[in-house]
Homo-oligomer: A and B are copies of this chain.
Amino acid sequence: MLHAPGDLRVEQREVPVPGPHDVLVEVVAVGVCGSDVHYYEHGRIGSRVVSEPLVLGHETSGRVVALGSQVARRSIGDRVCLEPGVPCGCCRECRAGRYNLCPEMRFLGTPPVDGSLTNYLAVHEDFAFPLPATVSDEAGALIEPLAVAVWACRRAGISAGDCVLVTGAGPIGLLVAQAARAFGATEVTITDVSGARLDFARRLGISATIDVSSSPVTDVALEVDVLVECSGRAAALADAMGALRPAGVAVLVGMGESEVHLPLEALQRRELWVTGTFRYANAYPAAIALAAEGQVDLESMITGRYGLDDAVAALRSSREDPGSVKALVRP
């Protein structure tokens, strides 16, 4: 439990009792996300403040060990991954199918909702998705960031034959690049300031890389249909916008800046579309199917494994180890 910035403690808590529509899940693997690290280091993300002790974690796979009285579609023993955000189900956004924008969303590991870096969790059965046999428990924990990537590709409208530029080769950028190919993109280029990240990208099969520490995107004659910004750096965005073809789409996934500066003439003369993404909606089934069919390689993304007692080391790994891509905690 996170008590204060830098103060993470392991504590004993009651095993939760599942409500009528809930399943009780024994947690098997939890991926560490940049937002977990940010809460650990700063105790807040923007206006969301950790004011009471909080369990972190929201990239989760596990096993169903008990069923609420009304559960109809899950069984004990099911291997599942968890969609961490449960929306209200009847506001304007939920009704319109944009439940990720629900103002009443309760999201694991986001104050005041406890997360999954724990042994047992009760969740609504419809938010515990069965894992096919071809998706391991560890890969199952990464379905959540893959859903972020699927959602970005879907909003960008990536389709067969598209050329896609991904700025930033962190975990999300690497997943977006893989997902873009699964959506049919035939040219995918990824950029980063870190040569090690780009090496990692090439090992995942993303052969076109640009090291923007030495050669800015603007130096490369690129013509892309879609830009997915995953670095969170305004400069990366500004440079990359010039590569977009008429009617192209830029999707801003990376966070970190308060403002983005966009060239008005390009927006108008090329009628570009720009949008941001916030989590995902209706993306788990596709993410699971892509992983199951081997269209996206999740296993290779995992660069470290930790026990619950080592959660602090897991949280620190992404900062301290430049070779770290995705750390996993196995309670």
A90 proximity list for chain B (CB < 8 A): 89, 124, 126
A82-118 vs B, Cβ < 8 Å mask (1 yes, 0 no): 0000000111111111111100000000000000000
Determine whether A65 belongs to the interface, using a CB cutoff of 8 Å to chain B: no
Determine whether A183 belongs to the interface, using a CB cutoff of 8 Å to chain B: yes
A255-283 vs B, Cβ < 8 Å mask (1 yes, 0 no): 10111111111011111111111100110
Q: A246-B93, A264-B255, A282-B95 given as contacts; is B289 within 8 A of A186 (CB)?
A: yes
> How close is A267's CB to chain B, nearest CB, in angstroms?
4
Give the contact-size bracket for chain A. 35 or more
Q: Which of A8-16, A27-35, A290-298, A310-318 contacts its partner?
A: A290-298
A267 proximity list for chain B (CB < 8 A): 252, 260, 274-276
A184 proximity list for chain B (CB < 8 A): 182-184, 286, 290, 295
Copies of this chain present in the complex amount to 4
A95 pairs with B281, CB closer than 8 A: yes
Question: Restricting to A122-181, which residues have a CB under 8 Å from any CB of B?
Answer: 124, 126, 150, 153-155, 159-162, 179
> How close is A27's CB to chain B, nearest CB, in angstroms?
22
> How close is A48's CB to chain B, nearest CB, in angstroms?
11
A97 proximity list for chain B (CB < 8 A): 95-98
Residue on B nearest A270 in the bound complex, by CB: B101
B258 pairs with A263, CB closer than 8 A: yes
A309-328 vs B, Cβ < 8 Å mask (1 yes, 0 no): 00000000000000000000
Identify the 7 closest CB pairs spanning chains A and B, nearest first: A97-B97, A161-B286, A89-B89, A268-B276, A267-B276, A186-B289, A101-B246
